[in-house]
Structure 1
Amino acid sequence: MPTNLPPVTRNLLIVNVVVFALQYLLHDQDTLSLTRWFALWPFGHDIAVDLGGGDVAGIGFRPWQLVTYGFMHGNVMHIVLNMYALYMFGGLIERVMGTRRFTVYYFACLIAAAVAQLAVVYIFEPDRMYPTVGASGAVFGLLGAFAMLFPREKLMLIPIPIGIPAWLFVTLYGVAELVFGVTGTLSGVAHFAHLGGLVAGLALLWAWGVRPPPRHWS
């Protein structure tokens, strides 16, 4: 288990948990305001939402949502899974990459995931008007980095108690996300955001000259 987490991973965990607490502790109208301004809304015209007391506000895409959506989560299970993955993989990858490069990597994956989600919704679901939240796109980028850096390390897919090499685990997970996204299986999950974060992360690592260690493939 990771201990003594490096600064960016630790701070990401803290901020995500604090924001999630705010989502649940604030009054409904305040939570709606958080969602209105900071969740990732599709491109297009704003929609009018009744804020109560006769107040009506528009909800729609804003540029900063490309980042802020990644610090909001839909429910307890959503944040638990994402923060567990960030805890397990983030510290190790930050130590390998260094704090500055890890920061760039994390937010590049997060933004790429948002762009992928926006593009797919704009092209294939232009009438859709509900938001995307969660750090999953960045987490998929971390999974891709782990598979690239430690391809033969074993990962376990719950509830199957069998270790799978990281490169195979991530490949299968990516294929599953593609199938789910294309077929519409498991609706309500931003499958193409996950894929966007994963693909962007792998592309960025490749551009940085990161390759799987040769000794792992012997």
Structure 2
Amino acid sequence: MPREHQPAFNAPRVITVTLVVLAAIHLVRFFLSDEADLELLLRFAFIPARYDPSFPYADELLGGEGAKVWTFVTYAFLHGNLTHLVVNGVWLLAFGSALAWRFGTSRFLVFSALTAAAGAATHLALHYGEATPVIGASAAISGHTAAAMRFMFESGGPLDVFRRGGREAFLIPAEPLRTSLRRPQALIFLLVWFGGNALAGLGSTTIGMGDASIAWEAHIGGFIAGLLLFPLFDPVRRGVRPSSQETFDVLPPSRHPPHDDGTGAAGRP
């Protein structure tokens, strides 16, 4: 049987749309005046000083009480410069795609919002009262990376030498975290990722737009949230391998069990 043709650009639709939205927002900001762009930052960037009642310039932080809620997520849609956007876009395409193929659109979007919020909360805990705005999708993408690590290195997974073909590789049941961390590939990846962020913490945390920053603490907060939240969102259960057409917008295996075609292999229903 001929192998299924895979297009050169094979990203889930939710990833493609997200990349377009991020690029469009950045393009719009390029045409804004400095004053208008500053107002946008003051309304949608995550600013720890917003939560400090003693901050003397609280009236200048736009958005009122609502901004204390929505900026936990909206900061992820803003980027300091083109390099910042491109780097995040590449990581989103790599690890976000793997997770979106597994989770489906709805789970992926909720998971992304929660990991972005976890990154912001981590930064707030360590920088309470600071006026420097935090921007960038890095915390959410760090959550994607942590979650993808749970299944990408497993036998038959996307990065395994003997991986399954096509999208079915993204539906390999995940091992428990303790077991997964015993895999040399996963352990090395984890050490390199945390080491890279630790080195970033020793250097500058600002990127573009004056003092707007991408904070390494937010990356780590998003990453840890991704590890912990993964089993709560994962629709693939141990002992069940959904068929390849059950990838995007995956439903729990109990509702769509693999079909036995009589040969002992899971086939199409």
Provide the rounded CA distance (Å) in 1 between the counterparts of 2:141 and 2:34.
Answer: 28
1:44 maps onto 2:46 in alignment: no
Mapping for residues 18-167 of structure 1, pairs under 5 Å:
18-42=24-48, 43-45=51-53, 48=57, 58-59=60-61, 62-122=68-128, 126=129, 128-151=130-153, 153=159, 165=185, 167=187
1:200 maps onto 2:220 in alignment: no
Provide the rounded CA distance (Å) in 1 between the counterparts of 2:83 and 2:198.
Answer: 22
Identity of aligned residues (%): 29
CA contact (8 A) 2:12 2:100 kept: yes
Secondary structure in 2 matching 1:78: helix
Q: Following TM superposition, by how much is the alpha carbon of 1:210 offset from its aligned partner in structure 2, in angstroms?
A: 8.1
Provide the rounded CA distance (Å) in 2 between the counterparts of 1:180 and 1:170.
Answer: 15
CA contact (8 A) 1:41 1:129 kept: yes
Q: Following TM superposition, by how much is the alpha carbon of 1:167 offset from its aligned partner in structure 2, in angstroms?
A: 4.6
Secondary structure in 2 matching 1:62: helix
The change in CA–CA distance for 1:33 and 1:140 in structure 2 (over 3 A counts) is same
Q: Following TM superposition, by how much is the alpha carbon of 1:7 offset from its aligned partner in structure 2, in angstroms?
A: 2.7
Q: Which runs of 5+ in 1 are unaligned?
A: 50-56, 155-163
Bigger radius of gyration among the two: 2
The change in CA–CA distance for 1:179 and 1:77 in structure 2 (over 3 A counts) is closer
Q: Following TM superposition, by how much is the alpha carbon of 1:207 offset from its aligned partner in structure 2, in angstroms?
A: 3.7
Provide the rounded CA distance (Å) in 2 between the counterparts of 1:22 and 1:143.
Answer: 28
CA contact (8 A) 1:151 1:167 kept: no
Provide the rounded CA distance (Å) in 1 between the counterparts of 2:146 and 2:204.
Answer: 22
Q: Following TM superposition, by how much is the alpha carbon of 1:185 offset from its aligned partner in structure 2, in angstroms?
A: 3.6
State the Cα RMSD in Å.
Answer: 2.9
Provide the rounded CA distance (Å) in 2 between the counterparts of 1:172 and 1:111.
Answer: 24
Greater mean alpha carbon deviation, residues 67-76 or residues 84-93 = 84-93
**Equivalent position of 1:190 in the other structure:** 215
Residue identity in the other structure for 1:85: W
2:190 corresponds, among 150, 170, 177, to 170
**Equivalent position of 1:159 in the other structure:** none
**Count of equivalent residues:** 192
Provide the rounded CA distance (Å) in 2 between the counterparts of 1:195 and 1:210.
Answer: 25
CA contact (8 A) 1:2 1:87 kept: no
Provide the rounded CA distance (Å) in 2 between the counterparts of 1:76 and 1:166.
Answer: 31
**Equivalent position of 1:52 in the other structure:** none
| 1:89-111 Cα shifts (integer Å, max 9, x gaps) | 22222111222211121111111
Question: TM-score w.r.t. structure 1 length?
Answer: 0.76
Q: Following TM superposition, by how much is the alpha carbon of 1:3 offset from its aligned partner in structure 2, in angstroms?
A: 2.3
CA contact (8 A) 1:109 1:201 kept: yes
The change in CA–CA distance for 1:167 and 1:95 in structure 2 (over 3 A counts) is farther
The change in CA–CA distance for 1:94 and 1:22 in structure 2 (over 3 A counts) is same
Q: Which runs of 5+ in 2 are unaligned?
A: 1-6, 161-183, 207-213, 240-269
The change in CA–CA distance for 1:207 and 1:167 in structure 2 (over 3 A counts) is farther
Higher strand share: 1
Question: TM-score w.r.t. structure 2 length?
Answer: 0.63
